[in-house]
């Protein structure tokens, strides 16, 4: 059966990386690529427009650039593209979420679709993520109490796949959305993994296909922007990954201690007060939208 598949790629001041990502999708059988311009910058948008125009005659899929002129964040940016597709006259059957700094291997889409065809119970599939951290090729284990990202299962951990590359069907969408928009950036993929586990959904890694992607943020790790959203993501996950409400106080206590220690260590490491400032600001529901 022929499926209509589209890819969703978010660009944030990364036109050159987005170009390499788009080129890797040629010949993958995609119908459309939604390119969400999340930079909120006229200059960055112009750079992205030039990349798209230069590829028009090379690619075998339609490129639709979407944007609101502001940085929507990761979760809201992805949902924005999904809702746009659902409102269209011919929505797609499957969606491929791909980081703009990732490069798809040949037959990536075919391999992911084939995995679902073999088992209709699968709600979401990720390829192997080839990067510098080989322990995370097959996903990450998140420690609910300490906020640690581990390569192997431990007590109090749950498994999830990063938002680097995911393929899922339209049946997974809830009102046209995939991610919880309480998350601006970081943590939304972990929350999705927890939610699918609690719903009894089947999620797998199609080990025979892969994308190349280096782990770690593309942002300055010592910046207030990065620190604020990372700490806030951990705090939000504390309130969303409990098994019973009676567990919440202990989760909060342990996470606060862990995050406070993290802030102190990182402030010393980077000779900056940004981690400590972010630890305090992350409790307040406001969004820092630019570095």
Give the pLDDT confidence of 25-37 residue by residue, as tens digits.
Answer: 999 999 999 999 9
What is the arithmetic mean of pLDDT over 144-164?
96
Give how far the C-alpha of residue 243 lies from the chain's centroid of Cα atoms, to the nearest Å. 24
Residue 89: which pLDDT band, with cuts at 50, 70 and 90? confident
What is the arithmetic mean of pLDDT over 8-29?
97
Architecture of domain 5-212: Alpha-Beta Complex (3.90)
What is the arithmetic mean of pLDDT over 77-101?
94
What is the arithmetic mean of pLDDT over 220-248?
93
* The pLDDT value given to residue 174: 85
Q: Are 90 and 58 in contact (CB under 8 A)?
A: no
pLDDT score of 286 more than 80: no
Give how far the C-alpha of residue 257 lies from the chain's centroid of Cα atoms, to the nearest Å. 27
Copy the structure tokens of residue 223: 């910046």
Q: Which residues contact 101 (CB under 8 A, 6 or more apart)?
A: 14, 17, 21, 213, 214, 218
- DSSP 8-state assignment for residue 174: B
């Amino acid at each position: 059966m022929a499926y209509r598949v589209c890819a969703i790629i978010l660009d944030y001041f990364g036109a050159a990386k987005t170009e390499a990502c788009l080129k890797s999708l040629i010949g993958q059988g995609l119908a459309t690529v939604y390119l969400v311009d999340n930079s909120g910058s006229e200059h960055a948008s112009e750079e992205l427009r030039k990349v798209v125009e230069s590829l028009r005659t090379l690619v075998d899929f339609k490129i639709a650039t979407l944007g609101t002129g502001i940085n929507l964040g990761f979760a809201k940016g992805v949902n924005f593209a999904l809702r746009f597709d659902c409102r269209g006259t011919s929505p797609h059957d499957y969606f491929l979420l791909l980081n703009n700094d990732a490069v798809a291997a040949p037959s990536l889409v075919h391999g992911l679709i084939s995995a679902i065809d073999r088992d209709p119970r699968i709600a979401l599939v990720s390829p192997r993520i080839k990067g510098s951290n080989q322990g995370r090729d097959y996903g990450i284990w998140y420690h609910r109490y300490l906020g640690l990202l581990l390569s192997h299962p431990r007590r109090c951990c749950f498994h999830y796949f990063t938002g680097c590359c995911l393929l899922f069907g339209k049946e997974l969408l809830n009102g046209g959305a995939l991610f919880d928009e309480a998350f601006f950036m970081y943590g939304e993929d972990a929350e999705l993994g927890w939610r699918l586990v609690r719903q009894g959904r089947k999620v797998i890694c199609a080990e025979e296909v892969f994308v190349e992607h280096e782990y770690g943020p593309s942002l300055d790790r010592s910046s207030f922007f990065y620190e604020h959203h990372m700490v806030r993501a951990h705090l939000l996950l504390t309130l969303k990954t409990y098994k019973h409400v009676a567990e919440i106080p202990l989760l909060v206590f342990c996470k606060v201690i862990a995050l406070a220690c993290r802030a102190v260590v990182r402030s010393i490491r980077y000779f900056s007060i940004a981690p400590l400032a972010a630890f305090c600001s992350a409790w307040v529901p406001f969004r820092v939208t630019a570095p």
